[in-house]
A and B are shown apart, each in its own frame.
Chain A
Amino acid sequence: MHSTLMFILIVLPFLAAIACAVVPVKQVRSAVVVVTGALLVVASLLLIGKVPFETSFTSMAGLPLASMTQLADFLLLGFVLFLGWKHKHLGIKILAGAQLVILFALEAFMMDHHAASMAFVADPLSLTLVLIISIVGSIICIHAIPYMDNHEHHLHLTISRQPRFFAWLVVLLGTMNALVLTNDLLAFYFFFELTTLCSYMLIGHDGTEEATNNSVRALYLGSMGGLALLLGAVFFQNMLGSLEIQEIIKLAPSAGYAMLPMALLCVAAFVKSAQAPFQSWLLGAMVAPTPTSALLHSSTMVKAGVYLVLRMAPGFVDTTLSTYVALFGAFTFLATALLAVSQSNAKRILAYSTVSNLGLIIACAGINTPAATAAALFLIIFHAVSKALLFLCVGTIEQRIESRDIEDMHGLFVRMPVTASLAVIGVLTMILPPFGMLMGKWMAIESAAANVPVIMMLALGSAITLLYWARWAGLLMSHPLQGGVTPEVQPKLTKYPLVALCGGAVLLSLLSPWIYSALIVPMIDMVNLANPQAMFEAPYVTSKGMLGADSGVFPVAPLFLVLIVGMFLGLRVLKNAQGAREASIYLAGAQSRTAQTPDSFVGPVNQPVKVANANYYLTRLLPEGKVTCWVNTAAVLLALLLVVGGL
């Protein structure tokens, strides 16, 4: 049974990718994507009852897995080297070359290859990630089917490039599943590199100059992460004589200097999660078609970074490294939230907010208490769902209004009532109780409260987060009191994924106490198993749908009760409001009096002039260029501190 599940989760997407790439028929491709998605969802759900377990394969479906990955690793690096040569990028060439040499040295001289098998460990942490990758990822892939048709129609392509696109999209799902399930650091490294390649391919998909440049940047920075990871692996192999992740976590706390490779791994994670100063590749990635952004750069791939930190976190409980990781995460949370304030491009807002939230998760990993770990896991889950929803909404909106500037979304409700409402709900699930993101933030703040620098940054960051979300949600909903709203028609494959994600965000929030007892408590037990010195206890107790502890309580179910009753009455208020007299907006009495020119005032020569409003972006206070410069400098210093001070 395990091997079948593993096969579906890891190998099937690769096979599906081959099918997508070679069969040029649209219907077949769509069917392959939908079926693969459905199988992934089923397999990941079946996995729930089975964790924790360990398993290792010498071969899967007759293929010698371990030696294949070893070979593929060299091929992959060779390919990256080729790309560096093709784009005449010295940095990529050096990084890829260095990795080739180091990998060869590692494989040839330091490791013994008697056990050529591939070990997998499925525990609650990897299960959570598998669920996100398989369910949210599949939903995004399905949403991409009609999206890419529109996209290519818009670009007037004669030969569809969709086979290539969908192939890389589903490859990513398999790669991510493998990445979070593997127990071998070297295999982890391979899949880590493979995700970098996927993002290079998908960012550069449209082939414009900007897309190519940004994809090269992603490859370059990704290779830096790869190098850090590989160096970390070399150190671990030398110091501990093992590359098994569980083994490393067990041995690292008592081994001298083990914090140096840990710090290197953290740096690799920061690159993948686009933490400052590496955020530029993720911002650049926003040129890609929206499904790419949704899949790679918000809900799944960037989670590989935080996954790595969380995975390793039990190995550095109560160390200076842990403190620095917390500081670094909190700093990124605050700094990138500040950067998001000056943005009016919806995708850039989403990008910065993603970096910011990943920073918060990393801060939680660095605080490294059970409550903080719980917070991190909640944040991962709910961020994936809500952010995927928002990305897909922006994609859908963009295809209709041909702009991703939020200033062009004033009164979007009139044109796209469904998508606009879903986007507003998406935003609300990001920032307000009783939804899961906020609960994660609540846990994070409560567990960081005694850490003065971290709590200060978290407090400032969360207020700034509220600012850039609320003003976006605010401008979507303006519409005339009576009539004027055109019903929205969308293809099924566009609408259902959005509705599913939205429903998921709300429903999962309601279920959070149960998620807590089903996923997070076992995960903390696993931490104790891995690092017996940690001696963690479950931070909260759940009863009657409430999460409680000595330090605080979050009554999830009662708040949802208020929410449901409130919504029921709220809908009546809405209906009741329909009977009101429609007012024109206040314009100091100068509004034009004809129904044809709403929201206008009488201007020169008695002509109606439509009012124009725009948000405050505080660009004079926080110019993006300057702030980025400061943030990067500070982040580089912090990262250096992390590597050096971690020793």
Chain B
Amino acid sequence: MMSILGFLLALVVGVFVAPILGGLITGLDRRITARIQSRLGPPILQPFYDVAKLLGKEKLLNNSWQAFCAYVYLVAAATSVVLFFMQSDLLLIFFVQAVGAVFLVIGAMSVPSPYSQIGAQRELIQVLTYEPLLVLVLAGIYVHTGTFKISGIYALEEPMLLKLPLLFLVLGYALTIKLRKSPFDISASAHAHQEIVRGVYTEFSGPYLAILEIAHFYEVILILGLVSLFWSTSFVGMLVLVALTYLAEILVDNVSSRMTWRWMVTSAWAVGLTLTLINLLSLTM
């Protein structure tokens, strides 16, 4: 049973430290992206400036339900991160973050703007694509450790990556889709500006966009936390694995162009399911 102190620590770290860390990582991401494109790039703190500016802008809405949805997305993302730091059930954490994903879509769909609608539909397809892969990765972790609890992973003697290398690749594939990085920046893109004018985010502005940004910071932390579990035995190993994975994500983001959702679904499922099958069978044999 977790002590009260541990609970409070997880709460504080989850609610306050995580978004700051997530923002810094996002800032780093933009900086590295700029360097890859031989530019200087914005300061590391840029995401915080963006959020602060957005918070100080006028409230502009199509309906109040939108505001509610943005807010639920934030709460769900924060809750899932807190649960993560409390070393709770991985499957549950995943379902809690799905609440956020669903509400983002519902919020975008509540505005009859074609841009936001198309963004929402595409976002749903992205969710459809990465969800089964993530569930299967978690199932693989269960087969390996005998539990869905994160504490079970920390009890392992050797890093999970050695036993689940293919599932780690699947995780990477799914996370690229979750983070909407190229070639999967289909529902809302940070780079190709004009096409769907930022898809699901089109109708969110000012403080409400800021809420979505903060929720995204939480999600980045959750995702990297998930990655870190694959080298749970040493802190340095964890950092190295997370850094390498994220760098790979940024690199892929920069060298690939956007693909269609059809390609995304078929390729992700074909590759993901095959790799999962091989890895799961090799575990259970």
Contact = CB atoms under 8 A, between A and B. Distances in A.
Chains A and B touch each other in the complex, with CB atoms below 8 Å apart: yes
Interface of A: 410-411, 413, 424, 428, 431-433, 438, 442, 445-446, 449-450, 452, 455-456, 458-460, 462-464, 466-467, 470-471, 473-475, 477-481, 550-555, 559, 562, 566, 569-570, 573-574, 576-587, 599, 611, 613, 615-616, 621
Given A433-B96, A477-B106, A616 B121 contact: yes
A573 B207 CA distance: 12
Contacts of A428: 102
Nearest to A442: B91
Contacts of B59: 577, 579-581
Interface stretch (B30-38, B40-48, B127-135, B159-167): B127-135
B67 A446 contact: no
A621 B95 CA distance: 27
Contacts of B186: none
Contact of A480 (B60, B63, B96): B63
Interface string B60-96: 1111111110011001000100000000111110011
Interface string B121-141: 100110111011101101100
A571 to B, nearest CB: 8
Nearest to A441: B95
Given A445-B91, A456-B136, A574 B112 contact: no
A479 B203 contact: no
Contacts of A462: 131-132, 135
Nearest to A549: B147
Interface of B: 58-68, 71-72, 75, 79, 88-92, 95-96, 98-99, 102, 105-106, 108-117, 120-121, 124-125, 127-129, 131-133, 135-136, 138-139, 142-143, 146-149, 197, 202-203, 205, 262, 269, 273, 276-277, 280-281, 284
B71 A479 contact: no
Among A449, A464, A466, A569, residue most surrounded by chain B Cβ atoms (within 10 Å): A449
A455 B92 contact: no
Contacts of B142: 446, 449-450, 551
B114 A611 contact: yes
Nearest to A433: B95
B209 to A, nearest CB: 13
A574 B148 contact: no
Contact of A410 (B58, B75, B112): B112
Contacts of A470: 102, 105-106, 124, 127
A411 to B, nearest CB: 7
Contacts of B129: 463
Contacts of B143: 449-450
A401 B63 CA distance: 22
Contact of B72 (A424, A455, A480, A566): A566
A466 to B, nearest CB: 6
Contacts of B99: 432-433
Nearest to A468: B124
Contacts of A562: 75, 79
Nearest to B273: A456
A573 B135 contact: no
B181 to A, nearest CB: 20
A442 B95 contact: yes
Contact of B203 (A570, A574, A585): A585
6 contacts: A428-B102, A456-B273, A466-B102, A551-B148, A582-B61, A583-B61
A463 B147 contact: no
A424 B69 CA distance: 13
Given A449-B142, A566-B75, 11 more contacts: A432-B102, A456-B276, A467-B127, A478-B62, A555-B92, A559-B79, A569-B71, A570-B68, A579-B59, A586-B113, A613-B114
A599 B128 contact: no
Contacts of A456: 132, 136, 273, 276-277
